[in-house]
Amino acid sequence: MSTSNPSSSFSVAAIMGTRPEIIKMAPVVLALRARGITTHVLHTGQHEEMAWPLYEFFGIAPQEVIRLKREVATLPALSSELMSAIGSTLASLKPAVALVHGDTSSAAMGALAASYLQIPVGHVEAGLRSGRISEPFPEEINRSLIGRVSQWHFAPTGQARDNLEKENVPGEVSVVGNTVVDAVLLAARHVRKQRAAGQPVANPDYQWFVDSGLRQLVLVTAHRRENWGGPMVEIAQSVARLLEQHPDAAVIWPVHLNPLVQDVVRSVHAATTAEVQNRWRLTAPLDYAPMVEIMDAAQLLLTDSGGIQEEGLSLHKPLLVMRDVTERPEVITCGAGLLVGTQAERILSAASHVLATGQLPGQPPATVDNPFGDGSSGVQIAAAIARHLPPSSL
């Protein structure tokens, strides 16, 4: 772990360490720095390979880096290690505010460590609730914990605000939209501009689809803990059958690095015909700009991810959410997504309908307004924080 002395008595520590956190916190860090507020990026090390290209893309290289040992592969061990390391770093920095995002172990332990040090906590993407403590796990636990110790709750939607008000959380609740909209629109503009200029981002997976001559692209992501085992088998089998039934379709699936996911997906892929395998591309997890480019080109997104629900909606893509519940019900109620669970037959039926019609089955047309905001969330959060910092810090 490295540390540095803050350049000002008043600063913000932005705590992040997973791919989604970095993507969604980047607009906040950029907006804070644009206001002249000293902002330290504290990388927790929860993700490594996927993290550093994102920091580079957004131009927010961390000043503080934690190197996790991970000698024991359990949630209690990870939480303990994160709590100790984040606490030591915050004690050295002495920021005026600690910002965390979402529902990861990094966010929960960062918020708890800051509150133990009596550093006010701001929670970006606050108020999401599935209503089931075990789904998603442990994220639902982490969200609730962070809500109890935060002073500022930056809720993405009115529904999220209502959840927080029902729980009678302490502090101030503001509806600011979701910073994922800021990030995905920035990235989409970048990849489109580069492509139009004849200097596309390096993206062999997107180029594979272009060269294939196929008409329809499906992007699949699946990694949730509750979908390990049997549900992952069903998801993979639904993809295989979808390709069998739709000869003009291609699938790109960035496979999560967890062996429990890798083994299932690759096994089902290997059991398909050569013709299906030629249209089903398994890749490593993608950097952000290439991932956004593929989302932008896709006719359908199949996912159990929370972030991709928001990103896909922002890019106006039909979403089939392979879960039984979602803490982002706005995706469903606005008509952009459909909960399809993890049974192969149900996924296959809904996906086939989208590829045939371009519409989600049984859903009204998606509303024009994005329930997650207009891309100004980072600016709004920075403005709210600035109102609480002394003038000498600006």
Confidence of residue 3 (pLDDT cuts 50, 70, 90): very low
**Could you tell me if 166 and 303 lie in one domain?**
no
Domain that holds residue 292: 200-357
Span 235-263, pLDDT tens digits:
999 999 999 999 999 999 999 989 999 99
Active site residue 275: no
DSSP-assigned states of every residue in 216-232: EEEEEE---GGGTTHHH
In the residue annotation, 125 being an active-site residue is answered as yes
Min mean pLDDT across 41-50, 80-89, 384-393 is at 384-393
Percentage of the chain with pLDDT > 70? 95
Quickly state the pLDDT bin for 362 (edges 50, 70, 90): confident
Q: Which of 143, 161, 224, 256 is catalytic?
A: 256
256 assigned to active site: yes
Q: Residue 185: pLDDT above 70?
A: yes
Same-domain check for residues 110 and 143: yes
**Coil/strand/helix, residue 162:** helix
CB 81 within 8 A of CB 369: no
**Using CA atoms in the order 369, 372, 377, 380, what is the torsion angle rounded to 10 degrees?**
80
327 and 387 share a domain? no
Coil, helix or strand at residue 338: strand
Confidence of residue 392 (pLDDT cuts 50, 70, 90): low
Whether 45 and 119 share a structural domain: yes
Q: Let me know if residue 366 belongs to a domain.
A: no
**Annotation marks residue 223 as catalytic:** yes
Residues 154 and 286 in one domain: no
Is pLDDT above 50 for 5? no
In a domain, 190, yes or no: no
Residue tagged active-site, from 139, 304, 310, 330:
139
Contact 23, 307 (CB under 8 A): yes
Together in a domain, 171 and 222:
no
Lowest pLDDT segment from 112-126, 268-282, 355-369: 355-369
CA nearest to 161, candidates 364, 346, 371, 391: 371
64 vs 9, which has greater pLDDT? 64
pLDDT the model gives residue 182? 98
Q: Are residues 380 and 340 in the same domain?
A: no
Q: How far is CA 386 from CA 9, 11, 118, 125, 332, in A?
A: 14, 11, 19, 18, 34
What is the crossing angle of helices 75-93 and 105-116, to 10°? Answer: 50
Residues 152, 239 within the same domain = no
CA atoms of 128 and 126, how far apart (whole Å): 6
Q: Are 137 and 327 in contact (CB under 8 A)?
A: no
Q: Residue 39 phi/psi, 5° resolution?
A: -130, 115
Whether 365 maps to a domain, the answer reads no
Residue in the block written with tokens 């004690």:
91
Average pLDDT over residues 158-187: 96
Place of tokens 């049997």: 230
pLDDT for residue 48: 84
Q: Specify if 265 maps to a domain.
A: yes
Given the residues 35, 190, 225, 346, select the one marked as catalytic.
Answer: 225
**pLDDT value for 4:** 39
Residue 94 sits in the same domain as residue 127? yes
For residue 376, the 8-state DSSP code is -
Distance CA 283, CA 52 (A): 19
User: Mean pLDDT score of the chain, rounded to an integer?
Assistant: 93
Instruction: Return the percentage of the chain with pLDDT > 90, whole number.
Output: 86
Catalytic residue among 21, 64, 81, 103: 103
Q: 132 is written with which tokens?
A: 């089931």
Omega before residue 138 within 30° of 0, cis? yes
More confident residue, 30 or 132: 30
pLDDT in tens, 96-128: 999 999 999 999 999 999 999 999 999 999 999
Would 7 be classed as within a structural domain?
Answer: no
In terms of domains, do 211 and 125 share one? Answer: no
Q: How far is CA 319 from CA 18, 31, 389, in A?
A: 23, 30, 40
Distances (CA, A) of 223 to 101, 271, 288, 323: 20, 21, 17, 11
225 is catalytic: yes
Considering the candidates 43, 223, 279, 323, report the single residue annotated as catalytic: 223
**Residue 195 domain-assigned?**
no
- The reply to whether 138 and 33 lie within a common domain is yes
CATH of the domain at 298: 3.40.50.2000
User: Total structural domains in the chain?
Assistant: 2
The answer as to whether 133 is a domain residue is yes
Same domain flag for 113 and 225: no
pTM (predicted TM-score):
0.87
**Residue 67: exposure state from Cβ atoms within 10 A (0-12, 13-18, ≥19):** exposed
Instruction: Please report the pLDDT score of residue 1 as a whole number.
Output: 39
Would 135 be classed as within a structural domain? yes
Query: Predicted confidence band at 18 (pLDDT cuts at 50, 70, 90)?
Result: very high
Average pLDDT estimate for 343-367: 90
- 21, 125, 205, 311: the catalytic one is 125
Higher pLDDT, 296 or 307: 296
